[in-house]
Amino acid sequence: MSGREPFEIAGMTVPAGRRKDIHLKITELCTATPVFIPVTVVHGAEPGPAMFLTAAIHGDEINGMEVVRRIRGDVDPKRLRGTLLLVSVANPISFIAQTRELPDGRDLNRVFPGRREGSMASHIASHIFTKVVKRADWGIDLHTAARGRVNLPHVRADMRVPGVRRLAHAFGAEIILDLEGDRGTLRAAATRAGIPSVVFEAGEPLKFQPALVEKGVEGVRNAIAELGMYPFERVSPLFQIVVDDHRWIRAERGGIMVLNVRPGDIIEKGEEIGLNTKPFGTEVNRLKAPYTGLVVGCMTLPMVLPGSAVCHLVKLDRRAAALRKLLRRRRPAFE
Ligand SMILES: [Zn+2]
């Protein structure tokens, strides 16, 4: 044994080389019932960095929960260097309600680092940030698309920050979206506080999608191995591209959109993304790709209004032909 100091959290002590499941109080209901988040502390036998892993900050995005559960079972604390802080449900109030937002309509992932004297969301964020996030040196936050959408597995990272760049590459997703991150996201707030953090996005809300969970587990294991915390065998992606030119292609008219693309497709400039129809089935208009790109997200609900987000398209330019060949060689993300 290393004689390493125990990890203290919420008045509890986790000795080196041990794992402990803790209920951490973050707020109270109007019945005065306390609300806890489940935190598993895996305190390695040997010193090393600390990493947080959070899921279901948006309460209906649950693929990440299963990633956290799998990682919890994969790591033997006696062989771990450093400490893992695993939060499978970071927003239990929205999780119970199966919604993205809190009951007051606020998005918890827009108020980090939060304030104790702020709104309910801000208050909760502050507890999570001070009690979990700030105890770590690195972080990964797990998400899916919002309701009515689906995302190709990808990492979101502010690639200007060296630590974030290292973590994003190591995670090993094929696509990295270089994004600073909206103000108030856990990822942006943690990175600003000196804790390099990335988001992994995969799939749809309110589902366990086994192939995408697997991708998440693989990525987290890759990141843990990169930081020298655990001897996981790393899995390399077939390719990896970093993109910063991307946007949602939006419906021009109201109607029922019959989509011709799905996540992982490459679409040429001018090709049809979808056919917009009236309820009688007659055509309203055809939505065309404004540039050649890779589809990283799509709507799943066909009803559209002018401006509805239909297809999240990453601009590919010269890389399109090479990528098309590579994509043909690997199993599609969605089968
Ligand atoms: Zn989310």
> How many A from CA of 303 to the centre of ligand 1?
22
End-to-end CA distance of the chain: 47
CA dist 276 to 60, 188, 259, 288, 292, Å?
Answer: 29, 37, 8, 11, 20
> How many A from CA of 332 to the centre of ligand 1?
23
**Predicted pLDDT of residue 325:** 77
> How many A from CA of 170 to the centre of ligand 1?
21
85 band by pLDDT with thresholds 50, 70 and 90: very high
Domains located in the chain, CATH noted: 7-226 (3.40.630.10), 245-329 (2.40.50.100)
> How many A from CA of 57 to the centre of ligand 1?
7
Which pTM value belongs to this model?
0.95
> How many A from CA of 108 to the centre of ligand 1?
10
> How many A from CA of 61 to the centre of ligand 1?
6
332 band by pLDDT with thresholds 50, 70 and 90: low
**Predicted pLDDT of residue 331:** 60
Q: Name the helix (H) or strand (E) containing 49.
A: strand 46-55
86 band by pLDDT with thresholds 50, 70 and 90: very high
List pLDDT tens digits, range 265-297. 999 999 999 999 999 999 999 999 999 999 999
> How many A from CA of 40 to the centre of ligand 1?
21
In angstroms, the CA 26 to CA 33 distance is 11
